[in-house]
Structure 1
Amino acid sequence: MKWLKAPRSLFNQLLLFFGLPLLMLGGISIYTHYFSAMSAATLAYDRTLLASARTVAERLVVRNQRLEVDVPYVVLDSFERNMNDQLYYQVISPEGQSISGYHDLPKMPEYIPRSNLYPALVHFYDAQYRGRPIRVAALFQPVNESGVMGMATIVVAETLESRRYLARQMLLAALLSQGTVVVLTLILAYVLLKKVLKPMRKLSGMMLRRDPGELTPLPMVLPWSEMQPLLLAFNRYIERLRVMVARQERFSADASHQLRTPLTVLKTQVSVALASDRPEQWRESLEGMSHTLDSTIALTDRLLHLSRLKAHERDADRQLQPVDLAQLLRDACFSRLPQARSKQIDLGYEGVEQCRIAGEALLLTELCANLLDNALKYTPPQGIVTARLLIEEQQGILEIEDSGPGIAAEQTQVALQPFHRLDNVGAQPGAGLGLALVKDITHYHRTRPELLASPQLGGLLVRVRFTLLP
């Protein structure tokens, strides 16, 4: 069994889309604040270390050709800025001997560059002393007095508690400020998304509660201009669906009504045959049933053509091919010659030998067949039916003209509707689908039929205009 994948939440996706980058940016901002705080604290305390080293350097004296330093307790006490840090110093003579202070302070590594921030020969570096991290300033002081020449080294070191305390305070301030901004932004994004998605949930609830047969337009419950095209598209789709359902309901009702009559006649004929013992009656009933079945098959065929054509009309990508309309019309005339001879009707073709248009051959064949069938059906015996194809101004003009009763101008629109038959057709069989099918086929080919009075034969003239291929 395949489990359906649960749909993802738009609310959660938008919240993650805003929240994750915001949290990342907040973290990066806090890190940069901490790094900047450490850099600022290091710079500030390094300046103090250099001042301490210079104070010790000022106490250097030469006595009896020996370098000495006198660092009173008061001077050392002035170095103790707070109770958190320990301060250490060492004075090294030009010969490399430790003459005062803590003799075991870490030596300066060889790769430490001189600081360019101060006008002094000072080097700053980090080290470990007595298990604690320290910051060291090594100041080189030139000595040239009483036979002592060279560079004395004053090393001053302190622990890092004050620096780290200052960095922690600045980090805490950054956490409070940046954290407040991030949290408030997330809260505002949460509230905004809730408010934005509330109309969507309202619309979803309306759709879920809507009756399956309700095809009324959706109300404009989405207040944003960006969502209006969505509602308009929904309403246009609902309108098309409503028209299609109404058309199908009407078509089904009319088709059921039209099929009920021949089926009732067929049942009556079967009942008459079963109730009779005479072979002559059986043959007569069978001939009547055959005629009824022929009419029913023709009616069903017309209904299927209409249904398929409606399906084709809903297809936006119509595959039209080059078609020789003249050849299709001549073939339709030849196939109707026996029907014309049975009524002594003069059926003829006149016009061009070739007429190339873009269309579907099967539908155009059905168009010619329906027009000729209607003309032959309603033209009285010994009448005239003429099929004509002309070319004028890059148009192929198809005309079917007959000497039948014709159609009054005020009834032309009614004649093109399915299952509508005019009063002047007499007792002719049919369901009123021929011209309706012609109308749908021409509409599929982006044209329309014209029902006119025949100026020459006095009956009906059906004219359809097609655009020629270049």
Structure 2
Amino acid sequence: MRIIPSLRGELLVWLGLPLALLWGLSVYTHYQSAVHAANQAYDRSLLASARTVAERLVVRHRHLEVDVPWVVLDSFERNMNDQLFYQVISPEGKTLSGYDDLPTIPPTSQLSEIYPALVYFYDARYHQQRIRIAALWQPVNEAGVNGMALVLVAETLNSRQAFAEGLLRTALLSQSCLVLVTLLLAGLMLRRVLRPLRRLSRIVLHRDGSELTPLPSLPWSELQPLIIAFNRYLERLRSLLARQDRFSADAAHQLRTPLAILKTQVGVALDSERPEQWRESLQGMRHTLDDTILLTDRLLQLARMKARHGEEKPLTNVDLADILRDACFSSYTAARNKRIDLGYEGQQNDEVKGDSLLLGELCANLLDNAIKYTPIGGIVTARLYAGKLEIEDSGPGIDSAEQEKALQPFSRFDHGSLQPGAGIGLALVKDICAWHGALISLDRSPLLGGLRVTIQFKPDQR
């Protein structure tokens, strides 16, 4: 679960957290730079004080002495607003002047490389105060006194801290203003950028459930694939609903006729008192019910076939020759009743990738149509060669201008046939071919003169 449900809020958080981290890092580095700059500036003054004291070293009567006027130290203190301490140690290690308890040079201190002098700078504590010390070695070679005198000059850190804190306040103010202005501009930018998305959300929210018009495009290339995909989905949904509406209307029309005939036949039977009339009406009702059952079964097959267009296709290797021969055997009785010569030509084995049940339904529908519209004593031939299935008959055939229409549901042509039907068989065959990726074509048989249906399976399906 997201803690922040708002896209703008989450973007601001993801932008604000790195900015906060960068702000803290920037303030820390500014403070360290300020401390370093303060040390450099005030160390120079501290070294100047040490050199002033070193210049007061003199040798009198073969003894090293130092005379440091307090007025000199007072001037440094007034300029730096800090307390100043000093100590002068002779080459023999004796304190000549100043405070004799100043902290000595730590073993870890190193000579400064910034100034051309033998000077150490180090921090220490003195009388509960933090101090900064400059330890300057001053060579002495005069009147028999040889060695290195050590001059220690220390000061408190008030001026340094005030300088560093001033720079820190400046950094805090500038960096905080920068972060706040950045977040404010980012919020305004996100509000402006997300305005079309909010408008699109309002359009979708207030859209009527039956409206399937495409969504308007957004000015961002990143969201264009989503809008295009959604509009394509709406287009497929419109097409599906249109097919369903057309199918429902056509199915209702086709079922209304046999039901009306059935009602009439029942009414005739009820109005008559003759058993012969009852028997004739019952036989008519039986034929009507058979036609209605056949029509309903074909309608359900067509609906299931259309529903399977979006499914994953679990294709397996099946022997199309076996399926076609089984369909011929199943249709043999119907062909014999009309004295039709039903034959099979072609290979004994021909494997393709497909669904055996659907391919069986395809062959059964083609043979049923061919037998239904072929006159008594005619010929129907099923042929299979290298993934190419042909079924041709000696019936009336279909004119070339009407062949495309024949593949649509509920398309029937009056050729004088007394066989019932709803014009769904070829439409179902077309859908099965589309599901398998096969090609279907209709033309006139050059051998038998009737309709020839050709189904060609692609090479990758074999």
What's the TM-score once normalised by structure 2's chain length? 0.93
Task: Give the Cα–Cα distance (whole angstroms) in 1 for the partners of residues 31 and 222 of structure 2.
Answer: 43
Aligned residue number for residue 444 of structure 2: 453
Aligned residue number for residue 304 of structure 1: 300
Contact conserved, 2:439 with 2:457, CA < 8 A, in 1?
no
Q: CA deviation at 1:268?
A: 4.9
Q: CA deviation at 1:28?
A: 1.2
Task: Give the Cα–Cα distance (whole angstroms) in 2 for the partners of residues 277 and 411 of structure 1.
Answer: 48
Larger displacement relative to structure 2 (44-53 or 175-184): 175-184
Aligned residue number for residue 75 of structure 1: 72
Aligned residue number for residue 53 of structure 1: 50
Contact conserved, 1:352 with 1:389, CA < 8 A, in 2?
yes
Q: CA deviation at 1:374?
A: 0.5
Residue 79 of structure 2: SS of its match in structure 1? coil
Aligned residue number for residue 239 of structure 2: 243
Residue 319 of structure 1: SS of its match in structure 2? coil
Aligned residue number for residue 225 of structure 2: 229
Contact conserved, 1:357 with 1:467, CA < 8 A, in 2?
no
Q: CA deviation at 1:82?
A: 3.0
Q: CA deviation at 1:231?
A: 2.2
Task: Give the Cα–Cα distance (whole angstroms) in 2 for the partners of residues 355 and 301 of structure 1.
Answer: 29
Contact conserved, 1:377 with 1:428, CA < 8 A, in 2?
yes
Aligned residue number for residue 93 of structure 1: 90
Aligned residue number for residue 330 of structure 1: 325
The alignment status of 1:121 with 2:132, answered yes or no, reads no
Task: Give the Cα–Cα distance (whole angstroms) in 2 for the partners of residues 6 and 119 of structure 1.
Answer: 61
Task: Give the Cα–Cα distance (whole angstroms) in 2 for the partners of residues 140 and 283 of structure 1.
Answer: 140
Contact conserved, 2:327 with 2:363, CA < 8 A, in 1?
yes
Residue 387 of structure 1: SS of its match in structure 2? strand
Q: CA deviation at 1:218?
A: 1.8
Deviation per CA, 1:342-390: give whole Å up to 9, x if none. Answer: 1111111112222222222111111110010001111121211111123
Q: CA deviation at 1:35?
A: 0.6
Task: Give the Cα–Cα distance (whole angstroms) in 1 for the partners of residues 224 and 261 of structure 2.
Answer: 56
Residue of 166, 180, 184 corresponding to 1:183:
180
Task: Give the Cα–Cα distance (whole angstroms) in 2 for the partners of residues 121 and 179 of structure 1.
Answer: 43
Q: CA RMSD in A?
A: 2.3
Contact conserved, 2:396 with 2:450, CA < 8 A, in 1?
yes
Task: Give the Cα–Cα distance (whole angstroms) in 1 for the partners of residues 423 and 105 of structure 2.
Answer: 111
Q: CA deviation at 1:57?
A: 0.8
Map of 1:387-398 to 2, 5 A cutoff? 387-391=382-386, 396-398=387-389
Residue of 355, 361, 375 corresponding to 1:366:
361
Q: CA deviation at 1:283?
A: 5.7
- What amino acid is the match of 1:215? L
Task: Give the Cα–Cα distance (whole angstroms) in 2 for the partners of residues 310 and 59 of structure 1.
Answer: 110
Aligned residue number for residue 463 of structure 1: 454
Residue of 27, 33, 37 corresponding to 1:36:
33
Q: CA deviation at 1:325?
A: 1.5
Map of 1:334-345 to 2, 5 A cutoff? 334-345=329-340
Task: Give the Cα–Cα distance (whole angstroms) in 1 for the partners of residues 411 and 198 of structure 2.
Answer: 48
Task: Give the Cα–Cα distance (whole angstroms) in 2 for the partners of residues 425 and 35 of structure 1.
Answer: 104
Aligned residue number for residue 353 of structure 1: 348
Task: Give the Cα–Cα distance (whole angstroms) in 2 for the partners of residues 106 and 180 of structure 1.
Answer: 43
The runs of 5 or more residues in structure 2 that have no matched partner are: none
Aligned residue number for residue 257 of structure 1: 253
Q: CA deviation at 1:194?
A: 0.5
Inter-CA distance 400–83: structure 2 relative to 1 (3 Å threshold): closer
Contact conserved, 2:346 with 2:385, CA < 8 A, in 1?
yes
Inter-CA distance 35–234: structure 2 relative to 1 (3 Å threshold): same
Q: CA deviation at 1:5?
A: 7.1
- What amino acid is the match of 2:60? R
The runs of 5 or more residues in structure 1 that have no matched partner are: none
Deviation per CA, 1:50-99: give whole Å up to 9, x if none. Answer: 11111111111122332211001222123224363111111122222222
What's the TM-score once normalised by structure 1's chain length? 0.91
Residue of 416, 424, 427 corresponding to 1:436:
427
Inter-CA distance 285–90: structure 2 relative to 1 (3 Å threshold): same
Aligned residue number for residue 106 of structure 2: 109
Q: CA deviation at 1:127?
A: 1.2
Aligned residue number for residue 377 of structure 2: 382
Residue 376 of structure 2: SS of its match in structure 1? coil
Contact conserved, 1:124 with 1:137, CA < 8 A, in 2?
yes
Contact conserved, 2:4 with 2:10, CA < 8 A, in 1?
no
The alignment status of 1:19 with 2:16, answered yes or no, reads yes
Larger displacement relative to structure 2 (123-132 or 368-377): 123-132
Contact conserved, 2:59 with 2:143, CA < 8 A, in 1?
yes
- What amino acid is the match of 1:229? P
Task: Give the Cα–Cα distance (whole angstroms) in 2 for the partners of residues 159 and 80 of structure 1.
Answer: 10
Aligned residue number for residue 408 of structure 2: 417
- What amino acid is the match of 1:330? R
- What amino acid is the match of 1:46? D
- What amino acid is the match of 1:325? L
Task: Give the Cα–Cα distance (whole angstroms) in 2 for the partners of residues 268 and 217 of structure 1.
Answer: 48
Inter-CA distance 425–128: structure 2 relative to 1 (3 Å threshold): farther
Aligned residue pairs, count = 461
Residue of 158, 163, 168 corresponding to 2:155:
158
Task: Give the Cα–Cα distance (whole angstroms) in 2 for the partners of residues 47 and 12 of structure 1.
Answer: 51
- What amino acid is the match of 1:212? G
Task: Give the Cα–Cα distance (whole angstroms) in 2 for the partners of residues 467 and 243 of structure 1.
Answer: 27
Task: Give the Cα–Cα distance (whole angstroms) in 1 for the partners of residues 431 and 262 of structure 2.
Answer: 30
Aligned residue number for residue 139 of structure 2: 142
Aligned residue number for residue 398 of structure 2: 407
Contact conserved, 2:443 with 2:451, CA < 8 A, in 1?
yes
